Every structure is written in C-alpha cells, then in structure tokens.
Amino acid sequence: MTDRREGDRREKPAWVQPLMEWSAIEGVKARLNGPAGDVPTEIGGVEISNAGRQLLAWWLEARGSRAMPDADDVSPRALVELLPYIRYLSWEDEDRLVFRIFGSALAEAAGVDLAGYDMFAFSHDEVGIDKARLKQLHDQPCGIVLVRDVFGHADAQYPCEFMTLPIAPGPDGKKRIIGTIVPVARIEEWTAELIFDRILTLRRAVYFDTGAGVPDPSLGLEV
C-alpha cells in the first residue's frame, strides 16, 4: 500500500475531479424502480447524507419483503452514480472482511484502491469491537450509521459518515456488507488526502431497525 506524505501531492485525474465536489455528493442518486419512500433524514440524532439516504433507498427496494438483498441484487446499473462513494466487502472467514469494491472517489481521497485488502489488516485495540459491531448486521439483521474522524496528513481530522447495510451471501456462501463514505460537513471540494490505515476515531455508532429490531444496548456496541 502506498502512503502519500506531506509535500507529495498529485493532481486529480480530470474524470474524477467532478466526483469530489459537494454538488456531486449532494446530488448523487440511486436508480430506483419506484419512489424513494420513507427513508429517514436522521437516525439517532445523526443527520443522514444524501448519499447515505440514496443507498438506503436502494437497499430497501432491492430487498423487497426479505430481511436483506441477495448478492445477486447488487446492481452496478442501479448504483452507478453511487459507486464512487461505495465500499463493498465480503466476510472471507470469521476474521477477515475484504474489500471487493472501493469507490473511485474513496480511492482518490485515500491515494490507494483498497480492493482486495482486509479491512482489519491493520491490527489495533478496536478491531475486536469493530468486528462484533459489523457482524450484528447479519445476526440481527439491521443497519448501522457511524461517524468517524478520518485522518489526513499532519494529523488533520475529517468527520465522515459511514452508512453500512448487510447483503445476503452469494453462491460462494460469503456474507457481504455495502456502504457509503462521505464527509459529514459541507465542503466545496473534497481535497483532503485521507489515511485509512489507522484507528478512525469513532464519534457515533447507531444501529437502526430494518424490520428485525436492533442489537441489545447492553452489548455496548453503540456510541
């Protein structure tokens, strides 16, 4: 994995530049077959971004009457506008959650495409609770929204919303999760060069009910 240091700045490719602008983040839409429906604008006091709401609207439509969509329901056509901000991962075993897709806007912000990397490859004190938190998405099942401070160079911090939802296993039997990452605060252009290979300070972690309730608060997984 490459690490962009202070002073090692590179210009964004022309095709990715518009994806980093707030107007794109604010206006991106899932391609739905019907109306977006009753998608919340806030969850547990966390105001949900447009990208997060659009992903949730797609997820609700794709799952129909089931607990969650199947892997075969994950449609690049329906999600084409959201893909630059999407991360899509699969549980390869009980301990490894591997990126299958790491959106182009996220890769540009991080300076590296994390597809193929284990989310928990960089061990730290919060790995255990992070795994337990995400496993609940299938065990319950439910969704979760997190607000984390992502680090930039010179230890600058940028609060970002992580909307995360479960996807049922595909033919390979591996459970999946899908989610978006976007800045919480309005920015004219996403110019920060982010660093994802360290503990991302957690401000909020809120489960939300998708029909089967939410994990017991006594588990201590919400913040």
More confident residue, 92 or 2: 92
Q: What is the total count of domains within the chain? A: 1
Considering the domain boundaries, does residue 10 fall inside one?
Answer: no
d(C-alpha 106, C-alpha 179), whole Å: 12
The verdict on residue 2 lying in a domain is no
What whole-number percentage of the chain has pLDDT above 90?
65
DSSP category for residue 49:
P
CB 203 within 8 A of CB 147: yes
More confident residue, 120 or 157: 120
Residue 142 lies in a domain: yes
Is 176 within the bounds of a domain? yes
Tracing tokens 């549980």 back to the chain, one arrives at: 91
Share of the chain above pLDDT 70, in %: 84
117 in any annotated domain: yes
pLDDT band at 169 (very low <50, low <70, confident <90, very high): very high
**Per-residue pLDDT tens digits for 110-138:** 888 999 999 998 777 889 999 999 999 99
Predicted local confidence at residue 109, as pLDDT: 82
Q: What is the CATH number of the domain that holds 102?
A: 3.30.450.20
Residue range 100-111, pLDDT digits in tens: 999 999 988 888
Domain that holds residue 127: 17-29+41-219
pLDDT of residue 198: 61
Residue 5 lies in a domain: no
- The pLDDT value given to residue 90: 98
Q: Is 46 exposed, middle or buried (0-12, 13-18, 19+ CB in 10 A)?
A: buried
Q: Give the mean model confidence (pLDDT) for residues 17-23.
A: 78
Q: Is residue 191 part of a domain?
A: yes
Convert 50-99 into a string of H (helix), E (strand) and C (coil). HHHHHHHHHHHHHHCCCCCCEHHHCCHHHHCCCHHHEEEEEECCCCCEEE
As a whole number, the mean pLDDT across the chain is 87
* Diameter over CA atoms, the chain: 52
Give the CA dihedral 198, 202, 208, 213, nearest 10 degrees. 90
Confidence check: pLDDT of 41 > 50: yes
The answer for 158, left when phi > 0, alpha when psi is -120 to 50, beta otherwise, is beta
Residue 182 has pLDDT above 60, yes or no: yes
Model confidence pLDDT, tens digit, residues 50-96: 999 999 999 999 999 999 999 999 999 999 999 999 999 999 999 99
Q: Would residue 9 count as lying in a domain?
A: no
Provide φ and ψ at 65, rounded to 5°.
-95, 5
Q: Which residues, 6+ apart, have CB-to-CB distance to 173 below 8 Å?
A: none
